[in-house]
Chain A
Amino acid sequence: MLRRDFLKCSAAGAGMLLAGPRIAFAAPGVLDIFFNSDTNVIDFWTQVVKPGFEAANPGVTMNLVPGGGGSGINTLADRAYAAFQAKKDPQVDMLEAAAPFYPAGSLEAGLWIDFAKAGLSNYDKVNPVVVQSPALLPYRGSQVVLMYNSAVVKEAPSTFAGLVEWIKANPGQFAYARPDLGDSGACFVERALQEVTGQKPELFLPDNYTDDYAKPMFEKLWPLLKDIQPALFNGGEYTSGNTASIQLLASGAVAMTVAWSDMALQAMSQGVVPDTTAVAQLQDLAFTGGFSGVIVPSVAGNKEAALKLADFLISPDIQNRVVTDLGGFPGIKWEFLSKDLQEKFAKVTPKSIPIFPSTWEPVLFEAWYRNVASDLKR
């Protein structure tokens, strides 16, 4: 997720200084692609996307550049917008894990290509529920899952109520991250909010936040979170991020936590967590998730090649690899993936991936600090 590596973002300025001059000499046939995602994603592109695409399109080279986090990517988007207004080549052909909503007004002005109208041969396969904007092509998703040590937890809870019960029955064995620092923690708080309001994700929309509307719902949330607090890790302590949560699980300090599916699968394949680590998803209403997509400026110098690449990204071949190699969820409908994968992931993946609107988060998180975290007694 974008906010996952909070610290990386703060180093964005320095990253940009390095990235800036390097792309000043864009050549025809060289696609300049900037990444907002972590190194695991860039590795995936280097090892899977790049060789496949370059072999299929002789004469095209992909130049993969780490964009240096959110503000670094924003600076590139600013540059693309400036070039768009000046009708020049921005020397940016694609931004990864970025959104077309920045700079303000750029989407309406036509800076970002509308993929629905771009004639991509695979566009029909894209899962419509994960499309936030036609100018953003979702190609990989991840979802928050329960990550636990199956040597300790014989049967993982399958409902949120069951999870709460488990937490209280096993004091000190569960931890979640502070919501502003790790999105996995945010998703736990948000799922709890959905629980106390009757499991209706449709109550939370990007444009329906008002203090009056939210307050009664938040008031129902605090008792639940305060109730489980004494049974959390260390008598009510919260970790400082997604990685920190996994570290607690790795050291055996807790038996269960919440984690992003891709980070969990990667930790398991790298062996940094015990062999007995497993993941599970709530079956009543899944934890929220998020999708990352690519955007392409309409003035990009290598626009045609960039669109070909976009089409390649959402091809079933690459999407299968997103699941197997990246531990992510596909941007296209599951029915277009291989039969094996459909069967293997049937248990973990619910039919829908609820998305919690980010417009609600600033107030929710601040209120969490004031109502839940400040209640700590030591």
Chain B
Amino acid sequence: MPGKPTHDERTVATYCYQCVAGPDLLKVRVEDNIATEITPNFDAATIHPAGGKVCVKAFGLVQKAYNPHRILYPMKRTNPKKGRNEDPGFVRISWEEALTLVADRLNAARAAGLTDETGYPRVAASFGGGGTPTAYMGTLPAFLSAWGPVDMSFGSGQGVKCYHSEHLYGELWHRGFTVSPDTPLCEYLVSFGANVEASGGVCGVKRHADARKRGMKRVQIEPHLSVTGACSAEWIPIKPKTDSAFLFAMIHVFLHEHPRDRLDIPFLEDRTSSPYLIGPNGLFMRDAVTRKPLMIDSATGRAVPFDTVGIDPALEGSFVVDGIEVDADEEIIAHKAVTACTAFTQLVAHVKDYSPEWAAAICDVPAATIRRIADEFLAHARVGETIEIEGMTLPLRPVSISLGKTVNNGWGGYECCWARTLIGCLCGALEVPGSTLGTTVRLNRPADNRWSSVKPGPDGFMQYPMNPTSKSEWISRPTARSAHRTLVPLVADSAWSQALGPTHLAWMMQSEDFDKLPVATPPDVWFVYRTNPAISFWDTKAVGEAMAKFPFTVCFAYTRDETNHVADVLLPDCTDLEGLQLLRIGGTKYVEQFWDYQGFALRAPAVPPQGEAKDFTWIATELAQRTGLLAAYNAAINRGAAGVRLSGKSYDFSLAPEAKHDVETIWDASCRAASAEITDGAESQGLDWFREHGFRVKPFPRLRWYLYPKLVEQKLRFEQPYQEQLFRIGKELGHRLHEQGIHWWDKQLAEYEPLPRWHDLNVLWENALAKHYSVRIADYPFWLITARSMQYSWGGNVGIQIIKEVADNVAGHGSVVMNHAAAERLGIGDGDLVEVRSPLNDTKGRVMLCEGIRPDTLLMIGQFDHWVTPYAKDFHAPSMNALMPMLLDLTDATGSSADLVKVKITRLEAAS
């Protein structure tokens, strides 16, 4: 390699998974055993969708390793008092003392019972960034698995800062925990605030840049002109949280302003529930014997079960039929000669009043614009065309709709996700080439690929693992402090479910009782890794106060921060370039991570750990040994808790269960198993091979990007447009909650509508704030929103100088972004120091004036407000997190809210 002649120089291949849009592959240049440079890994140029490149965040890793603010030794708290104004008095201790302190607490908790008197787990753990910490925590998942019940419901931002409704409804409707356009084939994309250029990772950026060069038109609909809006063909500044009206109006245009043959009729008839008959009580009309939903055979005019072979289903119309409806709690309602119309006909009637003219006033977007977008979408849908993918002929529908944060979570998330998915169905543009695709599963099993998770369920749809709502099975006693399984059937019960419940309830319950739920206890031991809820959640003041009451908090700590300010023990783990881990790569993962390959990549230590930082696997193994769980821990690793199952049909690299294995032994076994898995047992190269090559892959069929072939194969339908199942389980859930005397979730129960109606969310927000804080909402004239930043989001890198330096090149970072004309009216100038106050709290920052934001909206990018984290605490950047109230009134049925609050702005001093 070129460069100045040096003494000892080498490159080490590793990966970056600092954000959910990873993992991506990179190389580290190491000179004299010091990491000096991050480069792409061009060895992966042909197998990685972005050519082996990594985004700007990866370039913070060198400074991350050598940051003088790192915590390099285990530390313990000496001040028993906890709180923002209490100096923790951390003092350096040995690893032996630190591990003993932690193990003693764990053993005491275990001795007292894995769950406390209220039924909640005694041990809790919070991890940040959409699951990305697992790419750095080695075998800790195996330890947690060996431990037993762990409460993972203390959220650090999920629900309010994730695509929450999309996660849940996306999985239900098309195995789309995250949803993406099929960007390589898409020709027309309507993006409601989806900020792919900031949060889509290198694969997203590359695929969308390629798509632009192909001529894909992307229309960005959002209140401010984000980097994604900047790179779009058109920006439509919509009023915050009114996206559902725009989407409903698009449906109206499709159904009321275009002839039916513009829609994909075969798709609607065969792949959706559109022809299913709806009974008088809003439930499917069913065959009295088989209980299968009925539809009308146009040829005979008879009502037949949906899976009757050789019929021509009637898509529209009202018919007189016999049958039953099955209501909540299996209540049968029998009908004779009752009039029932199809789900499609109900849909047409449902959206009759949702015209573009109606939406225009709500969205502050001209009706002509809404109509034009709908027309362009339909014109680009290419209904009737096909494409061949790996020998199979599939529909080609190069149109898609993306939803961003605050659109696809919180109130309105249901409407938006439903409308987006339904629009796909109307054009046949769901899970087919060019259209809207799911990219990963997290709630269904198995999670290794989406096809495997497709199994036949009732009524011709895919099976979905709802939490039970029947009288006998409903989980009346929550298993975690967010009561996720009790309150949210959709959140299921996978390893990810706890973190996807109403995680703010876990925090709220620490200070207020929820009638008829067990009193929430603080966990005996709370583990924290790569997350900082004290600044990243909503109502951060309340969260900070709640965590200060936890009796024993263990933080795996990189630097001091606002959360580990209340820790009892700080454990320094190896940073990204220092630790060892094998990670699954490829297939389809989050966001735009669609690969034509799948396999494994090694995070090989590029440089030795600084100070006494330890590999996470070493820490997990020590904890397992000190808590007497070594056998269970090893067994969990053998089962695949560290990412790869160590045995298969023709190979077995299982670890001896009783032995304590060193870090390299564990990962060598994982590498061997990975080699064997990829080669069907033919090869078994271990750690040394992966160190030399960095990664190992095999082809991943592109056909698997699309769920449609799997549904056709299993003769299944997408559960659209009519949400009979949700309607019924919502009723059941209501019965259960009311039987228990719980009425504080009633507002959420009302969201279980079979065809979601439009709700005025602006008014909902305003009323909730006015009611809870007794304010005149007119005094808070601005909507405050946030946006992700490629430089910072998920990275936990706010204390890294180079990240701050380059982020400052991107407009808006660290500022209150405000419309020029709006500011002028208030006498506010560029650079002025302002206070932005919500009914809950206030934040301060410098104003950045621009034209690319609505006059009624303020923007604060990212999450700041640090007061301990070295370097970052001197930014004086505003953050909306402290301004966001945690309110049940702002919590939807999935348990999420959205980054949105009303504020007023006051000028404090002139620009310096």
Binding between chains A and B? no
Interface residues of B (CB under 8 A from A): none
Interface residues of A (CB under 8 A from B): none
